[in-house]
Each structure stands twice: as C-alpha cells, then as structure tokens.
C-alpha cells in the first residue's frame, strides 16, 4: 500500500505511528513561572489519546525573555524539565511521539495573552525588555511598545547556549523530537527577514548573514540531540509583505537544504507573522501547502504541511499525493482532540489506530 495518513513514518531511529502531528499551539496557562501545569498535561495528553502520531508542545521558551507572555511554557531550568517529564511520559505511553518546540519570542515577547488583548507589558506591569536583531520594536497599536534591545555578540551567544541547554533538558524530560522555532515573527525569523534584521555584522546583511544564527542553532541542537532522534525546524516561508524588502518563498527554498545540512530532518512549513501589515493572498483549506511543496522540491529533508487542514480526506490526500510527509493539524485539534481517531474511522483505517479500551463501548454508537 502506498503511503497514506495512517502509514507509519520512520525518521532516523524514531518510528512515528502515523502522519498526523498536533501543531504547537500556545496555551498561555503557566501562571507566570513557565512551569507546565495540569492544563498542559490534559491538553497534550488528550491529543495523544486521540490518536495523533506526534504531539508537540507549544512554543517553549529557552529563556525567560523568550516567552510571548508571562504565562508561556519554559524549558530554562531543571524544574521546567521535571514539570514536563510526566507529560512526555504519558504521550509516549499512549503510543504517540512526544515532541517539543524550542522557541524565543524576540521582539514579540512581553505582552498579555490573546484573550487580554495581546498588548505590550512594561516592566512595572510584569513585562521585560525584549531582544531582537535590531532595535526596532514590533509595531503594536499601543503607544508604548516594550523596549527592544539590539542583541550584542554576548546576547547572541547566550541565546545559542539557551537553545542547546533547552534541548538537553528536553531530552532528559523524555521528548523524542526537538523542533527549532524559526517562524511567525519570533526571534530566529526576525534574524532571517530583512524587514526586521538591519544588522551590518556577520548576523545581518545578505542571505548568508541573516540565516547564520538559525543555521548555527540547528547545528548545535543537532549536536546534543541523539543520532536516532529527529530534529525539526519550523519556518515561515514568506513574510507576506510584497511591497517591501522581506523574507520570501524563494529564500526559504534556498534555506531548506542548508537546514538539512545543519541537521534538520524535517522542515515544518508555515508562513507570516513578522508584521501586522502582512497581506495573506488567500485563506482556506491547504492555503499554505504550496510553500511546503516548494521546499520539498529543494531538499531531501522531510516536509510538514500546515494551515487549513481540517478534514480527514484532505489530510490523507496530502500524504497520498506526496505533497507532504506530515499533515500538521492545529485548530481542528482544538475543536476535536480525537481528530486522528475520527479520521481513522472515516478513512477505513481502523486497524491502524484503535480507540482506548476505556472508550470503546462508545465507538460506533
């Protein structure tokens, strides 16, 4: 049988039970300390119970300044790893592959959760000075954006080290996949895009300079991650800023093989997030899949597609038609934690995914 949504995927020495991945989705539920809570255990554990092949945490900050909000998840201390360990264990017990997204929010940090308006927080309100490649704040609507500091060489070295030690802690916590977050306008994407990176040193300027930091971080994470476990990278394929100098799909296609050379096993292809003036050309089912296909043309690395994937037949077609190696499902997993189980029923793949024995008396009723 050809590859389909419920065919297993072998990446290095890791066997993933199917091609459904739970997209990293922030929960803003840490009570200000970055420690995982019961909410995270239930949220992520439910999706593992729901049949997904890979269950990935939300963007998990590698240092306190890397949180989007004070209530974001973190991995900057052993205490954070200890809080995450039972969650990774439960995901694995349910047959899914536990994954973690290592992240730094850069200039989009220090703000309130979305349900409180995503407004900037000043230091006297529990916020902090944000870091960025250049001292250009994110253009919030409010009059007072957080103070944004252009990173020094020492800051860059500290962030690189934070990604590496975050990966080491994540490994100790039991995660099998590490994803480096270089998308959605956060720190590593800010280095990639000329819309936000105005540096004139080795980390700015031309394509080589702007891509240097993400390439170095991927390489250094790969160096501490076991050879039999995968490293993913999430990228924004385009800034969706056609009327100004910005990061483009062409540059993403050029970057993809370099990320593979640095040790990335899968490129998780999203888009946008660098600036509120972005112009999304269309939305709807599969609206970002064309970017994943473009990346796949340029690299031997596996590719994950995300964006507007909500129907089982749609996700299955992505795999069967070789448009992607993983169907990365976000919001539909918020609506239905058991998306993969329902998809298996609809697609006739029940032999590949079984409902938990505790729930089987309800199946088919």
Catalytic (active site) residue 138: no
The whole-number pLDDT of residue 80 equals 98
Q: Which CATH number fits domain 9-362: 3.40.630.40, 3.20.20.70, 3.30.1440.10, 1.20.58.220?
A: 3.20.20.70
d(CA 208, CA 309): 33
**Residues sharing a CB contact under 8 Å with residue 197, sequence separation 6 or more, in sequence order:** 133, 134, 190, 191, 203, 204, 210
d(CA 4, CA 7): 5
Q: Of 353, 308, 320, 347, whose CA–CA distance to 23 is shortest?
A: 308
- CA atoms lying within 13 Å on the CB side of residue 165: 15
Exposed, middle or buried by CB within 10 Å (0-12, 13-18, 19+), for 303? Answer: buried
Q: Output the pTM of the full model.
A: 0.97
Please report the DSSP string for 181-227 in residue order. Answer: EE-TTSHHHHHH-TTT----STTSSSHHHHHHHHHHHHHHHHHHS-T
Domain ranges of the chain: 9-362
The answer to whether the CB of 284 falls within 8 A of the CB of 30 is no
The whole-number pLDDT of residue 85 equals 98
- Tens-of-pLDDT digits for all 365 residues of the chain? 358 999 999 999 999 999 999 999 999 999 889 999 999 999 999 999 999 999 999 999 999 999 999 999 999 999 999 999 999 999 999 999 999 999 999 999 999 999 999 999 988 999 999 999 999 999 987 667 778 999 999 999 999 999 999 999 999 999 999 999 999 999 999 999 999 999 999 999 999 999 999 999 999 999 999 999 999 999 999 999 998 999 999 999 999 999 999 999 999 999 999 999 999 988 899 999 999 999 999 999 999 999 999 999 999 999 999 999 999 999 999 999 999 999 999 999 877 678 899 998 888 65
The whole-number pLDDT of residue 1 equals 38
The whole-number pLDDT of residue 2 equals 58
Q: Of 247, 244, 290, 245, whose CA–CA distance to 269 is shortest?
A: 290
Active-site residue, from 28, 138, 186, 203: 186
Determine how β-strand 97-103 pairs with β-strand 9-11. Answer: unpaired
Alpha helices in 50-136 (DSSP H): 78-93
The whole-number pLDDT of residue 365 equals 53
Alpha helices in the chain (DSSP H): 38-49, 78-93, 153-173, 187-192, 207-224, 249-262, 289-298, 312-320, 331-335, 339-347
Q: How far is CA 8 from CA 17, 53, 95, 333, 353, in A?
A: 5, 8, 12, 20, 11
């Amino acid at each position: 049988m050809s590859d389909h949504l419920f065919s297993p995927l072998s990446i290095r020495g890791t066997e993933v039970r199917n091609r459904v991945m739970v997209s990293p989705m922030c929960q803003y539920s840490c009570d200000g300390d970055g420690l995982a809570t019961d909410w995270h255990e239930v949220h992520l554990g439910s999706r593992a119970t729901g049949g997904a092949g890979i269950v990935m945490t939300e963007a998990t900050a590698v240092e306190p300044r890397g949180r989007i909000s004070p209530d974001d998840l973190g991995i900057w201390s052993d205490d954070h790893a200890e809080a995450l360990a039972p969650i990774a264990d439960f995901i694995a017990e349910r047959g899914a592959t536990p994954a973690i997204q290592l992240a730094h929010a850069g200039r989009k940090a220090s703000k309130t959760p979305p349900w409180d308006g995503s407004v900037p927080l000043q230091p006297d309100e529990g916020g902090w000075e944000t870091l960025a490649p250049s001292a250009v704040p994110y253009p919030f609507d409010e009059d007072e954006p957080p103070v944004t500091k252009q990173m020094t060489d020492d800051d860059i070295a500290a962030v690189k080290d934070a990604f590496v030690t975050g990966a080491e802690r994540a490994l100790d916590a039991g995660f099998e996949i590490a994803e480096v977050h270089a998308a959605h306008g956060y720190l590593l994407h800010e280095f990639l895009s000329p819309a936000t990176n105005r540096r004139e040193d080795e980390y700015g300027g031309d394509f080589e300079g702007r891509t240097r930091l993400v390439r170095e971080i991927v390489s250094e994470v790969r160096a501490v991650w076991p050879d039999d476990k995968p490293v993913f990278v999430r990228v924004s394929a385009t800034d969706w800023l056609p009327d100004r100098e910005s990061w483009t799909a062409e540059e993403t296609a050029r970057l993809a093989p370099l990320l593979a050379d640095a040790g990335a096993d899968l490129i998780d292809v999203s888009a946008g997030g660098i600036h509120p003036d972005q112009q999304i050309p269309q939305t709807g089912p599969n609206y970002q899949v064309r970017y994943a296909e473009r990346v796949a043309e340029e690299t031997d690395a596996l590719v994950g597609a995300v964006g507007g994937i909500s129907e089982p037949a749609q996700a299955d077609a992505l795999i069967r038609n070789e448009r992607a190696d993983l169907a990365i499902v976000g919001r539909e997993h918020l609506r239905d934690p058991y998306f993969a189980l329902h998809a298996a029923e609809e697609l006739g793949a029940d032999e590949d995914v079984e409902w938990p024995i505790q729930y089987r008396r309800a199946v088919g009723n």
